[in-house]
Amino acid sequence: MIFEERKFEISMKNIYAAALACLFASTLSAQQLTSLESIEYDPTNHRWLAGNSSNVIVVDDNGNEQDYFGSDPEADYGMEVMGTALYSIVGSSVKAYDLTSGLEVSSINITGAQFLNGMASDGDHRIWVTDFTAKKIYEIDFTDWANPSYVQIVSSTGTTPNGICYDEANDRLVFVSWGSNAPIKAVALSDYSLTTLVPNTSVGNIDGIDNDSYGNYYIASWSPNRITKYNSDFSASEIITVNGTLSSPADIAYAEETDTLAIPNSGNQTVLFVGFTPSGITERSDENPFGVNCYPNPLTPQSVLSFELVSSGLTTIEILDQQGRVVEELLRENLTAAKHKIVLGELDLSSGHYLWRITNAEGSQVFPFIK
């Protein structure tokens, strides 16, 4: 099948600094950030929530500080968005705050907890937290907000546990450790047994860990200040280039919805964003008949829109706003039955949420993106 690549020069309203081909980064002003320890993506409201000890700050997809999330939410260390709530560690407690109102909807105190730090969730009802000082891991069941319960699943991690993430594919938790040559370990959820995945990472003081939808893992270390990416079985690793200054990177978060890694820096109170390009064109399906993919998303000047046509003929690509109104026609041309890729350049659009609409003889499909 013929692969066609077309690069369209889009009229530019603003000229931005050139970005890396597969990475983008932006920095959040530290004006209100004073105790930055964690960050989490809220896919329902398309925003980032930054834990700032005595408050939680809303951050948009472009890294701009927006407002405070509610008036009461706190987040001393780890946070997780699960369902309709933001869960956060506050002292020896884990609290849940409604994502719409910001009001507290549930809370549970972990008796005997010494320093709750990292947090992970299964996206449904289970939360896991590490105790940095006591070297323990707890599982909390939030099925009933009015009556949550918890159980200790690891009595001694053998290391000083910090960040933790849930690996659904392997039914396990993966957590990182503090100290020199810090190891990476796993907890099997079937029997709570421990396994060492990487005995010597060659970095020290690992604070955060998260995984993406492709089976990769990302860790944030302080010695040196670095983001390291591991493949699914931890047999290979690479250092991730970040456009910005890493300073004691804390509890990182990967947003699978936008293939974006957010890095909160506790050392300089900034947030850096790194966008990743998925490989290949998305497979065609009933839900995605044109195999549409747009990456990186949110857009950079190097973002690519890819799709596949089975039938040759007149094809249009339009940009719609959230109300379904056409704001720009990107393409109206006879295209061959093939895989196509458009390097977008700088679109003359205001920041916000939009839709691609691709139409030809096969039909029509819309696909969301963020500018």
> pLDDT by residue for the chain (371 residues), tens digit each?
333 444 433 333 333 333 333 333 444 444 477 789 999 999 888 889 999 878 899 987 656 677 889 888 999 999 999 999 999 999 999 999 999 999 999 999 999 999 999 999 999 999 999 999 999 999 999 999 999 999 999 999 999 999 999 999 999 999 999 999 999 999 999 999 999 999 999 999 999 999 998 899 999 999 999 999 999 999 999 998 887 899 999 999 999 877 889 999 999 988 988 877 655 556 677 778 898 888 888 887 778 888 888 888 999 999 999 888 999 998 898 888 887 878 777 788 888 889 999 999 989 999 888 88
Q: What is the pLDDT of residues 151-184, one digit of tens each?
A: 999 999 999 999 999 999 999 999 999 999 999 9
Sheet strand arrangement including 47-51 = 38-42, 47-51, 56-59, 65-68
CA 153 to chain centre: 26
Give the position of tokens 């039938």: 311
Phi and psi at residue 168, to the nearest 5°: -65, -40
- Domains, the chain, ranges and CATH? 3-15+279-370 (2.60.40.3110), 38-275 (2.120.10.30)
Strand stretches in 279-351, DSSP E: 293-295, 304-308, 313-320, 326-335, 339-343
Q: Does the global pTM surpass 0.85?
A: no
| Mean per-residue pLDDT of the chain | 86
Q: 289 near 296, Cβ under 8 Å?
A: no
Please give the structure tokens belonging to residue 70.
Answer: 């509610």
Task: State both tokens at 6.
Answer: 């077309």
Contact 73, 85 (CB under 8 A): no
Q: Residues near 99 by Cβ (< 8 Å), separated by ≥ 6?
A: 42, 44, 45, 81, 84, 85, 86
Q: Residue 166: which of 132, 117, 103, 217 has the closest Cα?
A: 217
Question: 307-347 pLDDT, tens per residue?
Answer: 888 888 999 999 999 888 999 998 898 888 887 878 777 78
